[in-house]
Structure 1
Amino acid sequence: MVQTYGATPAAVEERGPDLQPSQSGESDALLGADASARRPKRDGHATLSSSVGNLANTIIGSGMLTFPLAMASAGIIPGIITCIFSGSVAAFGLYLLTLCATKAPHRRASFFAIAELTFPRAAVFFDAAIAIKCFGVSISYLIIVKSLMPNVIAALYHDLSLGDPPAWAQSGRVWITILMGVLFPLSFMRKIDTYLVVVVIGTQAPGEIRLIHFTPNFVSTFPVQVFAYTCAQNIFPIFNEVSSNTQARMNIVIGTSIGSAALIYEIIAIFGYLTFGSKVGANIIAMYPSTSLFIAIGQFAIAILVMFSYPLQVHPCRNCLDKVFHIGHVEVEDEHGGSPDMSPLKHILLTVTIVVCGFAIAFFVDDLQMVLSFVGSTGSTTISFILPGLFYWKLSHSDPTANKSLSKAALALAVYGMCVFVFCLSFNIYQVVRPSSSVQH
């Protein structure tokens, strides 16, 4: 789900004299230009299908669990429309980023490289947005484990006729506390969409269903859809690696990935909502009966999945925070996307801070939807809408050959992202401060 999103050392070498750090000096810039000219251009080797799969897997994740609740906050028809709308706007943001990528050095596109061409200081905002997103996703993983493991244990005891499980095993807080003491690998493949689709289609117990039913919670659940389509951090690596990265082929990658994700989201949202109606919760899979062995096995698999994925969020969050703290000067990133001079002490302090803060929030917060809503209205909105719009607008508004209508649309996307950021974030904060004032659907 998380890829290297900063400039690699090779990317910095190939930026040429116009993009070299000012403190490098004119001679260094000329040497960099000569080296870049001598270096042969490399080709991408990724296939179109693997690129689609990579981007689609980045999109489809924990956000899908909350789509039925998002549909319940507006009704079936508005829910279907907003799901398609969110996917379309996200696809437009990705399209703008691929256009920006053509302005970067050959197959060295990154948010860092584009920021150097447009708003050099904007790189820190991207890093902050990625840090927020990864931190929020890590919290959502803990909340998922917290909600699923008690169900799994209850199903196991029921299936084996062991009576009631001990009280400690029915506490989600105990399970995430145990989780924090386990060492997980740095990478793990994640794919939960197929199982979830089977569950929501195969289990039916209709509640109150409405075609159109807007509630105040719609404002809070809408950013979840923004979060669910967020994959901008992966579009540049795909652009760099896909063979023949023409705009037409990149459009196929974007359209197929977003389209397949939208189809899965619509199925989960509709059938999940039809199952529980107005009583649907923030984590759809946690609502299914724990007495079913099939569902319990799936819940356990998802819990294991997100547990092993947790370090994948801490790793880029730590690297981004390190770069945020280095605002004001340009650094060459190492091969892992971090700063090469991060001291062991800083590494430990940042990691402990991220893990402890995330654990504390997940320990006391049960609302998965609220966590994803905060992430969607801040980090995801910045990555998917604000930065793509501003980047393309900056690159095109002074270019006489650029499409002016597209430039205006890019600026409109950035403004739209800012509105979502301010309005939805404000509403989420209001819900936290005044929970009793929130009208439930």
Structure 2
Amino acid sequence: MSAYNPIFNDDDFDPPTNQHNSSSSARSSLPDDHAPLLHSPAIPPSAEDYEEEDDGHGSGAAAATAGFFGCTVNLANTILGTGMLAMPSAIASIGLIPGIFIIVYSATASSLGLYFLSKAAARTEGRHASFFTISKLTWPGAAILFDAAIAIKCFGVSISYLIIIGELMPEVVLSFLGNTPGGILSTPEGDDPYMDYLTDRKFWITVLMASVIVPISFFRKLDSLRYTSLIALFAVVYLVAIVVWGYVAPKTKAPEPGDIELILFHPARVRVRVHVPPECNVSTLVSFSPPISSMSARPYHSYHSPLQIFSVYNELKDNNQRVINSVITTSIGSAMGVYECIGILGYLTFGKNVQSNIIMEYPASAFITCGRIAIVVLVLFSYPLQAHPARASLDKILASRSPQASGLKILPPPSQLKYFLMTTGILVSSYLIAISVTRLDTVLSFVGSTGSTMISFILPGAFYYKIHEADPWHPRKIIAVFLAVYGCCVMTICLTYNISHLGGPVVPGHYL
């Protein structure tokens, strides 16, 4: 996907500015756009020790061991969540052509957000880039508020992952062992006394939490998760294979396709139907429907990866702008390809009535059951990618309140005990909430429409503009302002949609 490349300009290819072996004279000769702004003379003499440690969010030079492949895999895994299974229904709500365009547009906007964040990271001193340190450059008084929003957003997403595990694993067990149509190892009813345990959502959340999620959530470096992220991406490939197979294979058991709408407008409750030959499988070319559709903001929030871009910047051995841009374009471009493939083929297979969870449309079989297992694997290895920035933001909030951190712009890394307590707190609290409730879609919809939009669009554009506030207007500065305004518009639309649907019926696949 290297051909996918949003607007990155000439200064993207300057030498890296945050290498710890750079001399002060070399630093002073750097172009203005790359000159570090964040200097902290108040840091005590032991600050050099901080740079040799890894706090999981602001790594020092000694911790900069990540390669291009590992960073790209982790970033792509962060982007490719279970929301990709809702892409066909998202396209169905606005039509095929607008759906394709919006996925590409959202990818471009998200790439620009990551690009502006990486440019802001280059203005910090050393490898300590984070929302907190950049906030200290721009709006120091709001730094804690930004980190609080990040922590809440990531914590909510991590809970949703556990709920997905609890929803899917009983279905997987029934598919293999249950007396259901398509059951692979079906047994006579009542023969298995352990079936009640194996179909209990709390049982699977507990088992997989203890055996898989807890160990990998204690890793300090994001790069340590590159192998689990690679496994999760294989699960994504398997899910893509299911959708492709469902489109090209004979549809003897799958539902008959519905109408395929190429364009769908929303200004009025009017439908205009155009009849075409049946073999085209298209009965509606242009249609009009109510103002705000179920498309909501799925594609806009499907590329939420800005929380990991700072860890990538801090841990990447060669973190010059050219390499950072390559990581961004490769990961976003690959995710866009997956979204387009699943969205288009899923929509063409099942039509306008496709469910919000595409995998539920396929008839029961071993192939489809393994796809559900693939989703579980995907969310298992995605949980630490949410816990990582949540813990880092929580650390910044707690550290900023300590007397020792007063006046410091770069906070010291957490102690071993503090790191253990924060990680344990995130794990235990998310587990308790996940086993206590089965529906968080209302809360998560508000968290996503505010937190995700702010982090992905509003803050990147606002940070870049604030840093270059005194500079003449140039294309990147104009685009940054547009991105921030665009984010405000998306947030307004999403909040309006969520408020208007409060108290509505539960939608199947709500956890997507």
Which range, TM-score by smaller chain?
Answer: 0.7 to 0.9
In structure 2, the residue matched to 1:295 is 368
Alignment of 1:99-248 (within 5 A): 99-157=119-177, 158-163=183-188, 174-176=200-202, 178-180=204-206, 182-185=209-212, 186-187=215-216, 188-189=228-229, 190-191=232-233, 192-204=235-247, 205=254, 206-214=257-265, 221-248=295-322
Which of 465, 468, 486 matches 1:396? 468
Cα distance change on mapping 1:344 and 1:384 into 2, 3 Å: closer
Gaps of 5+ in 2: 1-19, 25-35, 52-59, 178-182, 217-227, 248-253, 266-288, 507-512
Secondary structure, counterpart of 1:433 in structure 2: coil
Secondary structure, counterpart of 1:227 in structure 2: coil
Secondary structure, counterpart of 1:109 in structure 2: coil
After TM superposition, give the deviation of residue 304 of structure 1 in Å: 4.2
After TM superposition, give the deviation of residue 229 of structure 1 in Å: 0.5
Scaled by the length of structure 1, what TM-score is found?
0.77
Partner Cα separation in structure 2 for residue 364 and residue 171 of structure 1: 21
Partner Cα separation in structure 1 for residue 68 and residue 50 of structure 2: 28
Secondary structure, counterpart of 1:407 in structure 2: helix
The one-letter amino acid of 1:355's match is: Y
After TM superposition, give the deviation of residue 84 of structure 1 in Å: 0.4
CA contact (8 A) 1:224 1:376 kept: no
CA contact (8 A) 1:100 1:391 kept: yes
Structure number with bigger Rg? 2
CA shift digits 1:204-235 (9 cap, x unpaired): 44233211235559655342223321111122
Cα distance change on mapping 1:307 and 1:49 into 2, 3 Å: closer
Partner Cα separation in structure 1 for residue 339 and residue 318 of structure 2: 30
Scaled by the length of structure 2, what TM-score is found?
0.68
Partner Cα separation in structure 1 for residue 401 and residue 264 of structure 2: 49
After TM superposition, give the deviation of residue 297 of structure 1 in Å: 1.8
CA shift digits 1:286-319 (9 cap, x unpaired): 33222x1111122123224424644654565355
After TM superposition, give the deviation of residue 119 of structure 1 in Å: 1.3
Alignment of 1:48-59 (within 5 A): 48-59=68-79
CA shift digits 1:176-215 (9 cap, x unpaired): 4541365144324422210111000101442332112355
In structure 2, the residue matched to 1:284 is 358
Partner Cα separation in structure 1 for residue 293 and residue 197 of structure 2: 31
CA shift digits 1:212-266 (9 cap, x unpaired): 2355596553422233211111222222343443333322222222111111110
CA contact (8 A) 2:132 2:396 kept: no
Partner Cα separation in structure 2 for residue 339 and residue 430 of structure 1: 46
Cα distance change on mapping 1:167 and 1:327 into 2, 3 Å: farther
Gaps of 5+ in 1: 1-9, 21-25, 437-441
RMSD of the TM alignment (CA)?
4.0
Instruction: Kindly indicate whether residue 490 of structure 2 is the aligned counterpart of residue 420 of structure 1.
Output: yes
CA contact (8 A) 2:167 2:201 kept: no
The one-letter amino acid of 1:234's match is: Q
Partner Cα separation in structure 1 for residue 335 and residue 423 of structure 2: 35
In structure 2, the residue matched to 1:433 is 503
The one-letter amino acid of 2:325's match is: N
Cα distance change on mapping 1:343 and 1:385 into 2, 3 Å: closer
> How many residues are aligned here?
407
Partner Cα separation in structure 1 for residue 368 and residue 169 of structure 2: 12
Partner Cα separation in structure 2 for residue 172 and residue 138 of structure 1: 23
Which of 59, 64, 75 matches 2:95? 75
In structure 2, the residue matched to 1:411 is 481
Partner Cα separation in structure 1 for residue 188 and residue 49 of structure 2: 71
Partner Cα separation in structure 2 for residue 167 and residue 71 of structure 1: 44
In structure 1, the residue matched to 2:379 is 306
Alignment of 1:89-100 (within 5 A): 89-100=109-120
In structure 2, the residue matched to 1:3 is none
After TM superposition, give the deviation of residue 44 of structure 1 in Å: 5.2
The one-letter amino acid of 1:57's match is: N
After TM superposition, give the deviation of residue 89 of structure 1 in Å: 0.3
Which of 315, 333, 341 matches 1:267? 341
Partner Cα separation in structure 1 for residue 304 and residue 295 of structure 2: 15
Greater alpha carbon shift after TM alignment, 427-436 vs 252-261:
427-436
Greater alpha carbon shift after TM alignment, 83-92 vs 246-255:
246-255
The one-letter amino acid of 1:179's match is: I
CA contact (8 A) 1:152 1:299 kept: yes
After TM superposition, give the deviation of residue 395 of structure 1 in Å: 0.3
Alignment of 1:309-324 (within 5 A): 309-310=382-383, 313-314=386-387, 316-317=389-390, 320-321=393-394, 323-324=396-397
In structure 2, the residue matched to 1:7 is none
Partner Cα separation in structure 2 for residue 32 and residue 81 of structure 1: 52
Identity of aligned residues (%): 41
